[in-house]
Amino acid sequence: MRRTHLLLLIPAAFAAAFGLSRLFRGETRGPGAEGGAVPLATRLPEPAVPGGEALEASARVAGEVVRSDAPARKEEAPAGEERRPTAEASAGPEAARAPDRVSAAVAAAESLRKGGDLPQAAAGLVRQLEAMAAAKAPYAEMRPVSEALEGVNKELVFNPSGTWRSEKVVVEKGDSWHKIAKRFAAARGVQHGIGLLRAVNRKSGDLLVPGERLRVPTDSLRVVVHRASFAAFAYLGDVIVRVYPVGIGREDAETPTGRFTIGEKVANPVWWKPRPPIPAGDPRNPLGSRWLGFRADDQKLEYGIHGTEREDAVGSRVSEGCIRLHNRDVVELYDLVPDSGTPVEVY
């Protein structure tokens, strides 16, 4: 009897030893691996895919729900063979640039917009733009998404009836846009450019009527520049309200990265660097129609955001380190931001 038990224990002990040896080699099998051998050190959680909800909504419109955060599908393999991931499973950040991914995000946002869910429509497009910036997609590839977001923002943000975070203020006798902005900044610590206050209230002029109620955003504006994409995002809170194409510094005059604030605003700037200085409007003046100068650590810097008369200066490396916008875009940004203090992040 004892000999029989001993004989039965030998195979079990051998199997256990074999399993331990595979474990120490860093291999394991389990339901999550779909039967495939996967090194333990590489079994990391899947990152969240920006725009996942938007893509799911788009698929639902087509009649089938396909979760963008679901594991990549794997081809069935014959019995006894390992199942290998498809090309989709190994897709990196560049997947955000795929035309079908872009089209799905835009279609999902349009479906949400028609259904009245403007915040979710905007959120999906913002995630898509941020994912494309992370993948270093150029501005040209972002345009369909930014144009779709611009359409959503006309109803969501640039609309006095929109759902953006705000406080109501009552126009007093003798008030101006500047006085209202200054009074709000003193009370709430949030500064705004006159152009932003006009835009969200759909006002085009300076006329204000005593007793009139206006809405003032409680979120601040900030600017994020993605050098690799030649694009700048203007955020109001968490929503990208504008996407601008930009030009950046030459390879021998890199645009600096980091966190800055806009320290000064100058309309029709003179270019003081050469001697004699070159006045505004002169074709030799590279600053265009507006200058937004940077500050960091309480120091005025030589860098900033400015306009340009040269179309080819946007979308390329041509400046001495500054960020160039088309004149029409820098005029708009100039009006949106307050006189000073707007955060700028350059990546």
CB atoms near residue 73 (< 10 Å) = 11
Residues 6+ apart with CB under 8 A from 244: 231, 232, 234, 325, 326, 329, 333
pLDDT at 311: 86
Same fold yes or no, 166-217 and 245-346: no
In 3D space, the residue among 336, 37, 72, 58 whose CA is nearest the CA of residue 200 turns out to be 336
Q: Are 325 and 306 in contact (CB under 8 A)?
A: yes
**Cα-Cα-Cα-Cα dihedral of 33, 39, 42, 48, to 10°?**
0
- pLDDT score, position 81: 44
Residue 94 pLDDT: 84
SS3 236: strand
Q: H-type helices in 221-304, by residue range?
A: none
Domains in the chain: boundaries: 50-61+92-156, 166-217, 245-346
Confidence (pLDDT) at 93 = 75
Copy the structure tokens of residue 86: 């498809």
CB 118 within 8 A of CB 107: no
Q: How far apart are the first and last CA of the chain?
A: 76
Burial 130-141 (b: 16+ CB within 10 A, else e): bbbbbbbbbbeb
Domain spanning 245-346, CATH architecture: Beta Barrel (2.40)
* CA dihedral for 72, 76, 80, 84, sign (positive or negative): negative
Topology annotation, domain 166-217: Membrane-bound Lytic Murein Transglycosylase D; Chain A (3.10.350)
Distance CA 293, CA 323 (A): 10
Residues with catalytic function:
306, 322
Q: What is the pLDDT of residue 85?
A: 40
Q: Minimal CA–CA distance to 129: which of 222, 10, 226, 256? A: 226
- Quote the CA–CA distance of 157 and 11 in Å, as a whole number: 71
Please check whether residue 323 is in contact with residue 314, taking contact to mean a CB–CB distance below 8 angstroms: no
Mean pLDDT for back-to-back runs of 10 residues, the chain (347 residues): 42 41 34 30 34 39 33 41 40 84 97 97 98 97 98 97 95 97 96 98 95 98 98 98 98 97 97 93 94 96 95 93 97 97 98
Could you give the CA distance from residue 35 to residue 29 in angstroms, rounded to a whole number? 6
